[in-house]
Amino acid sequence: MSHVPGMIQSIERSSAVLRLLAAGPDRLRVKEIADALGLPKSTAHSILRTLEHVGFVEQDPRTARYRLGRGLLDLGSAGMDANELRGRALNWADALAARSGEEVRLGVLDDNRVLVVHHVFRPDDSAQSLDTGVRLPLHATALGKVLLAYSAPAEESAVAAGLDPYTRRTLIDRRELADALTETRTRGWGLSVEEWRPGVAGIAAPVRTSGGLVVGAVGIAGPVERLTDTRRQARPALVEHVVAAARSISRDVAG
Amino acid sequence: MSYVLAVDQGTTSTRCILFDRRATVVAVERAEHPQSYPRPGWVEHDAARIWRDLQRLIRKVLRGVDPSQVAAIGIANQRETTVLWDRSTGVPVAPAIVWQDTRTDVSTLDAEFLKSRTGLPPATYFSATKIQWLLDRTPGLRERAERGDVLFGTMDSWLIWNLTGGALHVTDVTNASRTMLMNLTDLDWDPELLDLFGVPRAMLPEIRSSSEVYGTAGAVLPGVPIAAAIGDQQAALFGQTCFEPGEAKCTYGTGGFLLMNTGTTPVRSSHGLITTVGYRIGDRPPVFALEGSIAIAGSLVQWMRDGLGLIGTASEIETLARTVEDNGGCYIVPAFSGLFAPYWHSEARGVIVGLTSYITKAHLARAVLEATGWQTRDVVDAMNADSGLALTALNVDGGMTADNLLMQIVADFLQVPVVRPMVAETVSLGAAYAAGLAVGYWSDQRDLRANRHRAGSWKPGLDSGRRAGEYANWRRAVECAVMFSRDGQDGLR
Ligand SMILES: Nc1ncnc2c1ncn2[C@@H]1O[C@H](COP(=O)(O)OP(=O)(O)OP(=O)(O)O)[C@@H](O)[C@H]1O
Ligand SMILES: [Mg+2]
């Protein structure tokens, strides 16, 4: 197979594998794919395994033959199945609530909002009700800021839709918001202090699938005095718990 | 920092979870193992593969943790599944026969006699007829078993035997109570039952409590005390800290299992529930439980995925089901292994009823989730009737509790709130608790109770007229499943 200098060879080869599988209705063996592309069998195998990992090809467990995967069909529909995400996050969201003592939410981008796909109560056994399915503002919550920080189109459409003020601390200026998102990206977690509801703060971190793609955000929310210090800075121990939970969920999501 | 290592050897997967003193999950590793369905009604596992999986998982979960930091290991396991192996080679003599397997014949068994001795109804579910089947059909096996050259065990025994390099052949009282060979009065193997099923005493493990140091592990976990063995559903009861009589939980995994603590005396059911041992801590008196067993819950979802290919992952059942408002008139009775509690109809088989051209795969997805809801209603009704008390809330756990729609359906069908605790992996937590108590990692049960918190709850919402109508349809669908069986003419017993 010819290779253009300056291009990444393994991406060229992977694309060729996908084209080959898409070309006909037949499922192919590793050997057949290797022969068709003039690759060593071991190289073809590594490419197929990687493509399988990201969901672009599937192997029939009975015949060991490969075909295109469901992940390709889902390319158009952004993100991962919200219920799947909840299933993967369950253990780690519970552990985060237990360690931080605060309520936990898992959110995804949905139509200019944060859609809460999972909610764990604050572990104090007080009366609380499930928030799953609720939509929160993107620019005013920690979850939302994390989701915006890793999606330029989402930031653009949020700004276009108008940055509604919820409290006097809500970021309603697009430049201020852009700065906050840059800061979020730089440190790897997001903070919102009384920007949505007076007295309430939130800390959140991104959930990533393979390749680093952000598919959601996980975070805690609670009274300002518990989540932040006297200078309204996030308490480092809580940040650590949130970031660790996000990392564990990411590991599960990336498989 | 020290931890307790829990093993959850389940029907579909094996999991290793490291817990810290506050009972929070520190690390999880899991491996699915294949389900083999060689003939209709047969379900088998490869026990050797499961042991290999466990060794690999232990190594993985301990990454960065020294075995000396592991205070104890506790094992919870799928119950009733029957492994027979050669004592000298350690090799299973046949594929393990899984609890869901219906190959054996129980039609000639004396129900009253068995119930009074074991608390169990005659069903293919329990180990006794599975052992009998293997001994009857494998030439020379019974003789080898009589000499003690072939051993029987449920997964707990098999794993402990392997963990100790063949030094220990033990089981715990909860697992033994599911074999149909243990007498519920003295908690020992019953000679008359052994005689009835033709099971030699020499092949059986010693029955121990659920929480005590049986011995120490060898190679994979050098020096770590093996301090608990407990059936997975009982482990969940313990993990949910249902320590008082009247406290109950329902675990949704492959099947669904409602267990209620009934204190230190066994309560006999008159509504189709099982009397079983809940747990026994050291040499304290055993605690009993009433159990409503649902054979097929999550495995119906898996069948939609693997058998029919209608969904790509289990979670997609919720996504698909939410695309429609209701079941469109369609009901699924998943009697794949016959019907368990409260019907106990081993010959029943699954049915899908109410089909019209209107029905799409989304309606089927809805009917799949509703089947778990209605089966829960059936066992809760039986539990309420037996205990004379009405359940005021249902404590749930297990993998299916990730499904919000399902949890709402259960609340709607039962008309009580459904409550999820902060650790969904309560099976593992129960095994960890039982092991941790045995080695003093936790001081007492009150200590454990303090770790328990509500993580979520769902309030009932369905209109009562609609609920009654749907329930009547479900009952008719169940009658269809029974009618379809070979001896269906008898109707529901
Ligand atoms: N979101 C979901 N909705 C419905 N069912 C689900 C969902 N996620 C998982 N399941 C089902 O739950 C089951 C997995 O739950 P869990 O991990 O508790 O079971 P398990 O421990 O493997 O069962 P067992 O112990 O009996 O082997 C599977 O049968 C799967 O189909
Ligand atoms: Mg389980």
Same domain, A27 and A151: no
Is B399 within any annotated ligand binding site?
yes
- How many domains would you assign to chain A? 2
**Which has more confidence, A69 or B79?**
B79
What is the nearest CA distance from B424 to chain A, expressed in angstroms? 7
Contact B313 A91 (CB under 8 A): no
**β-strand pairing of B96-97 with B44-45:** antiparallel
Mutate to test the interface with B, among A60, A62, A73, A83 (most CBs of B within 10 A): A83
Same domain, A15 and A113: no
Q: Is residue A14 part of a domain?
A: yes
Q: What is the pLDDT of residue B493?
A: 45
Q: Name the CA dihedral angle for B475, B293, B272, B248, rounded to a multiple of 10 degrees.
A: -110
Contact B422 A84 (CB under 8 A): no
Three-state SS for A57? strand
Q: What is the pLDDT of residue A79?
A: 64
Q: Is residue B21 part of a domain?
A: yes
Q: Is residue B259 part of a domain?
A: no
Residue A17 belongs to what domain range?
Answer: 9-76
- How many domains would you assign to chain B? 1
Beta bridge partners of B207: B171
The DSSP result for B140-174, as a single string, is: THHHHHHTTSEEEE-HHHHHHHHHTTT---EEEHH
Nearest to B454 among A90, A121, A133 (CB): A121
Q: What is the pLDDT of residue B317?
A: 96
CATH number at residue A64: 1.10.10.10
Residue B134 belongs to what domain range?
Answer: 3-233
Let me know: does B364 contact B304? Beta carbons within 8 Å. yes
Is B12 within any annotated ligand binding site?
yes
What is the nearest CA distance from A84 to chain B, expressed in angstroms? 5
Same domain, A176 and A88: yes
Same domain, A44 and A105: no
Q: Is residue A2 part of a domain?
A: no
Lowest mean pLDDT, pick from A11-15, A121-125, A165-169, B336-340: A11-15
Name the closest residue on chain A to residue B311, using Cα atoms: A70
Let me know: does A221 contact A92? Beta carbons within 8 Å. no
Q: What is the DSSP letter of B180?
A: T
Q: What is the pLDDT of residue B220?
A: 86
Is B302 within any annotated ligand binding site?
yes
Ligand with minimal distance to B99 CA: 1
The DSSP result for B183-211, as a single string, is: ETTTTEE-HHHHHHHT--GGGSPEEE-SE
With contacts defined as CB-CB under 8 Å, which chain B residues touch A86? 315, 402, 404
Q: For residue B449, what are its two tokens? A: 């109770």
Same domain, A117 and A232: yes
Q: What is the pLDDT of residue B362?
A: 97
CA angle B67, B69, B75 (to 5 degrees): 70
Contact A94 B313 (CB under 8 A): no
Contact B315 A84 (CB under 8 A): yes
Let me know: does B256 contact B375? Beta carbons within 8 Å. yes
Q: Is residue B294 part of a domain?
A: no
Let me know: does B96 contact B152? Beta carbons within 8 Å. no
Beta bridge partners of B279: B287
Same domain, A133 and A196: yes
For residue A25, is pLDDT > 80? no
Three-state SS for B370? helix
Q: Is residue B382 part of a domain?
A: no
Nearest to B422 among A87, A123, A132 (CB): A123
Q: What is the pLDDT of residue A38?
A: 79
CATH number at residue B194: 3.30.420.40
Pairwise CA distance, residues B225 & B123, whole Å:
36
Same domain, A44 and A21: yes
Same domain, A20 and A46: yes
Q: Is residue B347 part of a domain?
A: no
Q: Is residue A3 part of a domain?
A: no
Q: Is residue A4 part of a domain?
A: no
Same domain, A58 and A89: no
What average pLDDT does the segment A32-39 reach? Answer: 80
Same domain, A211 and A160: yes
Q: Write down which residue in A54, A76, A98 finishes a domain.
A: A76
Mutate to test the interface with B, among A73, A91, A122, A124 (most CBs of B within 10 A): A91
Is B80 within any annotated ligand binding site?
yes
Q: Is residue A1 part of a domain?
A: no
Name the closest residue on chain A to residue B426, using Cα atoms: A91
pLDDT > 90 in chain A, percent: 60
Q: Is residue B8 part of a domain?
A: yes
Three-state SS for B181? coil
With contacts defined as CB-CB under 8 Å, which chain A residues touch B315? 81, 83-84, 86-87
Contact B403 A99 (CB under 8 A): no
Contact A87 B402 (CB under 8 A): yes
Beta bridge partners of B172: B208
Contact A81 B313 (CB under 8 A): yes
Q: For residue B430, what are its two tokens? A: 């129960």
Same domain, A208 and A249: yes
Q: Is residue B384 part of a domain?
A: no
Mean pLDDT of chain A: 90
With contacts defined as CB-CB under 8 Å, which chain B residues touch A125? 453-454
Dihedrals φ, ψ of A20, to 5°?
-60, -45
CA angle A11, A14, A17 (to 5 degrees): 155
Q: Please report the atom of ligand 1 found closest to the CA of residue B78.
A: 25
Positive or negative, the CA dihedral A235, A238, A240, A242 is negative
Q: Is residue A67 part of a domain?
A: yes
Calculate the CA B121 to chain-centre distance.
Answer: 16
CATH number at residue A109: 3.30.450.40
With contacts defined as CB-CB under 8 Å, which chain B residues touch A98? 22-24, 422, 453
Q: What is the pLDDT of residue A81?
A: 87
Q: Write down which residue in A34, A49, A76 finishes a domain.
A: A76
Same domain, A106 and A173: yes
Question: Does residue B314 line the site of ligand 1, with CB under 6 A?
Answer: yes
Task: Compute the residue count for chain B.
Answer: 493
With contacts defined as CB-CB under 8 Å, which chain B residues touch A130? 404, 456-458
Mutate to test the interface with B, among A90, A124, A126 (most CBs of B within 10 A): A90
Q: Is residue B333 part of a domain?
A: no
Q: Write down which residue in A24, A59, A76 finishes a domain.
A: A76
Contact B455 A97 (CB under 8 A): yes
Let me know: does B261 contact B237? Beta carbons within 8 Å. yes
Question: Does residue B346 line the site of ligand 1, with CB under 6 A?
Answer: no
Q: Is residue A56 part of a domain?
A: yes
Distance (angstroms) between ligand 2 centre and the Cα of B36 equals 18
| pLDDT digits (tens), chain B, 493 positions | 799 999 999 999 999 999 999 888 899 999 999 889 999 889 999 999 999 999 999 999 998 888 889 999 999 999 999 999 999 999 999 999 999 999 998 888 898 999 999 999 998 999 999 999 999 999 999 999 999 999 999 999 999 999 999 999 999 999 999 999 999 999 999 999 999 999 999 999 999 999 999 999 887 888 899 999 999 999 999 999 999 888 889 999 989 999 999 899 888 888 889 999 999 999 999 999 999 999 999 999 999 998 899 998 999 999 999 999 999 999 999 999 888 889 888 888 999 999 999 999 999 999 999 999 999 999 999 998 888 878 888 999 999 999 999 999 999 999 999 999 988 889 999 999 999 999 999 988 888 988 889 999 999 998 999 999 999 999 999 999 998 876 644 444 4
What is the nearest CA distance from B103 to chain A, expressed in angstroms? 25
